[in-house]
Structure 1
Amino acid sequence: MKSGLPVATDKAKLFAYVDPQLKAKIERLADIRLRSVSNLVESVMAEEVARAEQEGLLPAPSEDSK
């Protein structure tokens, strides 16, 4: 889903190198889900961080602020 319009945001930028085939699949999945690639990738990363917190690999959010 590409709008071509600039979006003002206070979110941090994150750059990553990925396999071209993986990039194409991510773009296709984002289109299917009517999301931007950025939004899709952010949601997948958030799910992984939440899983790591549940598994004890990362401190839970309340523990981060201590």
Structure 2
Amino acid sequence: MKIQLSCVRCGSTEFNHEPIQCIKVEGNYYLLHEDIKDNEVTCAKCGLRDYVANLVIVFK
């Protein structure tokens, strides 16, 4: 099971990432809580551009 971020409009978990600040640990990327409010992504499916803090967390 994985925790992923999901688009609030269409539910997709695929994003076109803008350069964001994150930490790489053992091949996985993590966002620091204080950096979430400044990072934006664009949904690859519907094109919605939103802040990471507004995305929905889903389990897959």
By the TM > 0.5 criterion, same fold?
no
TM-score normalised by the chain length of structure 2: 0.24
Greater fraction helix = 1
Greater fraction strand = 2
Q: Whose radius of gyration is greater, 1 or 2?
A: 1
